[in-house]
Amino acid sequence: MELIVKSMPAEVQAQALAWKREGLTVGLVPTMGYLHEGHASLIRRAASECDRVIVSVFVNPTQFGPNEDLESYPRDLEHDLKLARECGAHLVFTPTPETMYLPGASTWVTVEGLTRELCGKSRPIHFRGVATVVCKLINIAQPDRAYFGEKDAQQLAVIRRMTADLNMPVQIVGCPIVREADGLAKSSRNTYLNEKERQAALVLSRSLERGREMLEKGETDVQKVLDAISGTIAAEPMARIDYVQAVDADSIEPVKTLAGTVLFAIAVYIGKTRLIDNFYWKV
Ligand code: PAF
């Protein structure tokens, strides 16, 4: 089947509804484009589980703060279309800010509580923008399933909460982090790193590996694990910690003891580039 490319929300919604009337299941992979292996894994998974796959490519302005990288965020639609097609997508939705946010738009989706810690602290309007655009994308694409990477673990928790709270008939599927061979988590923002920074950025995965090893050896003191992660990062001169935290994976509330699923999450500046990484620890 030929890849369909559409930029108008109403056209995508009409196509999705037509597929659903035929009895086909629809998977949605929301992205901001500049697709890499991480996105590819989401699209392939969606293609293996759904009859039709819609990939959205939209650098959503409402999730960027005033001093963030909206303007410089990398874009390459030709490459994105090729990769989406190769991974099994059927439709790529490429809206513009003007078609997504109509003049006078004044409705926001705000998920409280889960957005207080981690990235919510340093990026105060971020999750309002994410929840609003994902809610809109789900309403447009009418998916049975929507796929998100676990690298953005707080985003995943926020979206799960939102879809449950708003009775949205969609299954949210979290997919494992995809890493470079040397451990760096794949991210469109890795492209900002120069050679030295790229090397220094390995401290993120290395520090988490150190924390995970301690847990595997039986460490139960969460603070000791966090201190070891912070200490490893602090030893890298090009790195500046934004946060190193352990939170409950569902509520994103800070935890002091190991119970349920604990998310060990970090955000670190390497030069001007802010990178995130994490791992889940199930007790
Ligand atoms: O994870 C992302 O790329 C974005 O936050 C998302 C989910 C596509 C919403 O703009």
For 266, how many CA atoms within 13 A lie in the half-sphere containing its CB? 32
- 94 within 8 A of 5, measured Cβ to Cβ: yes
Coil, strand, or helix at residue 54? strand
Q: Which atom of ligand 1 is nearest to the CA of 137?
A: 9
Shared domain for 94 and 214, answered yes or no, is no
Contacts of 217 (CB under 8 A, 6+ apart): none
Q: How far apart are CA 213 and CA 130, in angstroms?
A: 33
By residue range, what is the domain housing residue 235? Answer: 188-278
Shared domain for 13 and 138, answered yes or no, is yes
Across the chain, which has 283 residues, the per-10-residue mean pLDDT values are: 96 98 98 98 98 98 95 97 98 98 97 97 96 98 98 98 98 98 97 98 98 98 98 98 98 97 98 97 95
End-to-end CA distance of the chain: 45
**What is the number of domains present in the chain?**
2
Q: What is the pLDDT of residues 116-133, one digit of tens each?
A: 999 999 999 999 999 999
- 226 within 8 A of 247, measured Cβ to Cβ: no
Catalytic residues: 39
Question: CA 81, 148, 203 angle in degrees (round to 5)?
Answer: 95
Question: Order of strands across the sheet with 261-270?
Answer: 239-248, 261-270, 273-282
Q: Is the CB of 33 under 6 A from ligand 1?
A: no
CA of 156 to the centre of ligand 1 (A): 10
CA of 78 to the centre of ligand 1 (A): 19
Per the structure block, which two tokens stand in for 155?
């985003």
CA of 31 to the centre of ligand 1 (A): 5
Per the structure block, which two tokens stand in for 20?
């659903």
Q: Is the CB of 31 under 6 A from ligand 1?
A: yes
Per the structure block, which two tokens stand in for 281?
């620890």
Q: How far apart are CA 79 and CA 86, in angstroms?
A: 11
Q: What is the pLDDT of residues 23-57, one digit of tens each?
A: 999 999 999 999 999 999 999 999 999 999 999 99
Among the candidates 175, 208, 236, a domain finishes at 175
Residue 40 lies in a domain: yes
Q: Looking at residue 144, which CATH number applies to its domain?
A: 3.40.50.620
Q: Which atom of ligand 1 is nearest to the CA of 32?
A: 3
